[in-house]
């Protein structure tokens, strides 16, 4: 009888030993991957935090207090945050490459912007860091390169600059007169049109004509559409409560509060320096000459004995009308009114009339936020080293012109806002 062959126990022990060794190798390799991937994940998290912080830091300083883009400052902020949060040396940025960089990359591909002049996005790619593997080298993986990308987005706001600022909504009809500013810009809220023989000009490098809605007629340079309306550039200025001594003849009585006054034909009136508060209408006769140095005309509501602010809903108050005169010459200078030569209460809806057939020379500014400025007829109206801020402008006549020389640009801005990380 044949007996079955027995397997030697030592043979089984050998098989177990081999299997155990194989399993140990697999476990060791798995452990190495877990450890190294965990390290890589930790480093990548640091890299992403650094990229996020750098992109936000760059966006936070992208614009200065005047609303001008500061790309160099933004780049320095991004690099500084990357150095602090991920130990990125300054030299690493020079050769950094980012295939997906934004349109404008002035210093390194790895810090880029979507526009060189008015950027709204900043993309930061943190230079890659090489991480040596502890155990994965057993599988032929001796190092891993780790980096991260982040993009911040913001509304860049808007900045308007103008020495001729027409801020009312609706359509402004300028007629056939010429409106010219030098060394400054022009802005219209709403829409604007000129007659066939009229023109609006902004002379000087970098000066522009901007219009909230549409512009028809003649403009040099061409009018540019902007999506935002301009607010009051002098809105932060606190106008004083109308006050003073009631007087009757500004040509002899000096500064004070006045009601209506008609200046006679061929009359010459020279104002003494100071503040003249108008609650009524001042108008000129034929060939009136009206002069004043160091003066401000403050046109409000009320009466000479009880001057007051105009109603906030809009109210027709005092008025300055020089349309029939021969010469109007004013130099600003009343205490507390800066460069303002003619200033209307912000809610005074009465118009402002400058010369119709004579010459106007104002050294300073006209500020009449709720009023229409009329510059009709064959007059030459000049504002020097100042600005014009009005609700509406109308000028007509083949020889009518309104010229702002060495214009004082008024600035209004809506600051940047809404900074956040984006995809």
Question: Per-residue pLDDT tens for 25-54?
Answer: 555 555 555 445 454 567 788 889 999 999
- Indicate whether this model's pTM tops 0.85: no
Alpha-carbon distance 194 to 165, whole Å?
16
In contact, 263 and 290? CB cutoff 8 Å: yes
Exposure class string for 152-164: b at 16+ Cβ within 10 A, else e: bbbebbbbbbbbb
303-338 residue pLDDT tens: 999 999 999 999 999 999 998 888 999 999 999 999
What does the domain layout of the chain look like in residue ranges?
Answer: 15-157, 159-413
286-287-293-299 Cα dihedral, nearest 10 degrees: 10
**Vertex 124 angle, CA 118 and 125, to 5°:** 150
147, 128 contact by CB (below 8 A): yes
Residue 104 to residue 12: CA distance in whole angstroms: 71
pLDDT tens series, the chain, 423 aa: 555 555 555 555 665 555 655 665 555 555 555 445 454 567 788 889 999 999 999 999 999 988 889 999 999 999 999 999 889 999 999 889 999 999 999 988 999 999 999 999 999 999 987 765 555 455 555 566 778 999 999 999 999 999 999 999 999 998 888 999 999 999 999 999 998 889 999 999 989 999 999 999 999 999 999 999 999 999 999 999 999 999 999 999 999 999 999 999 999 999 999 999 999 999 999 889 999 999 999 999 999 999 999 999 999 999 999 988 889 999 999 999 999 999 999 999 999 998 767 788 999 999 999 999 998 867 778 999 999 999 999 987 666 789 999 999 999 999 999 999 996
């Amino acid at each position: 009888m044949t007996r079955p062959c027995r397997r030697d126990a030592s043979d089984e022990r050998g098989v177990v030993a081999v299997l155990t060794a194989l399993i140990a190798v697999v476990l060791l390799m798995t452990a190495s991957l877990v450890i190294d991937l965990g390290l890589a994940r930790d480093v990548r998290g640091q890299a992403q935090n650094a990229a996020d912080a750098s992109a936000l830091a760059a966006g936070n300083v992208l614009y200065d207090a005047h609303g001008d883009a500061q790309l160099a400052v933004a780049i320095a902020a991004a690099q500084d945050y990357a150095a602090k949060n991920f130990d990125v040396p300054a030299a690493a940025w020079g050769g950094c490459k980012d295939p997906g960089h934004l349109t404008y990359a002035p210093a390194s591909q790895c810090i880029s912007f979507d526009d060189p002049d008015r950027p709204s996005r900043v993309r930061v790619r943190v230079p890659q860091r090489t991480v040596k593997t502890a155990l994965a080298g057993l599988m032929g993986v001796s190092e891993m390169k780790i980096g991260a990308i982040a993009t911040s987005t913001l509304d860049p706001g808007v900045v308007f600059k103008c020495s001729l600022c027409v801020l009312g909504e609706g359509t402004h009809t300028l007629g056939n007169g010429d409106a010219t500013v030098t060394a400054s810009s022009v802005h219209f809220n709403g829409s604007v049109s000129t007659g066939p023989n009229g023109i609006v000009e902004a002379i000087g490098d970098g000066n522009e004509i901007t219009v909230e809605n549409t512009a028809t007629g003649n403009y040099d340079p061409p009018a540019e559409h902007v999506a935002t309306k301009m607010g009051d550039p002098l809105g932060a200025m606190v106008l004083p409560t109308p006050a003073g001594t009631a007087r009757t003849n500004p040509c002899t009585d000096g500064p004070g509060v006045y009601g209506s006054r008609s200046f006679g034909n061929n009359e010459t009136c020279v104002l003494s320096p100071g503040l003249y508060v108008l609650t009524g209408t001042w108008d000129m006769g034929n060939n009136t000459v009206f002069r004043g140095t160091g003066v401000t005309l403050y046109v409000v509501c009320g009466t000479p004995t009880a001057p007051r602010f105009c109603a906030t809903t809009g109210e027709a108050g005092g008025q300055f009308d020089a349309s029939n005169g021969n010469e109007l010459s004013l130099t600003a200078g009343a205490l507390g009114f800066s460069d303002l030569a003619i200033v209307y209460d912000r809610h005074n809806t009465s118009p402002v009339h400058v010369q119709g057939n004579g010459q106007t020379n104002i050294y300073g500014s006209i500020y009449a936020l709720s009023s229409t400025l009329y510059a009709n007829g064959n007059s030459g109206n000049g504002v020097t080293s100042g600005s014009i801020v009005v609700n509406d402008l109308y000028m007509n006549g083949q020889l009518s012109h309104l010229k702002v020389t060495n214009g004082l640009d008024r600035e209004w801005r809506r600051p940047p806002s809404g900074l956040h990380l984006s995809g």
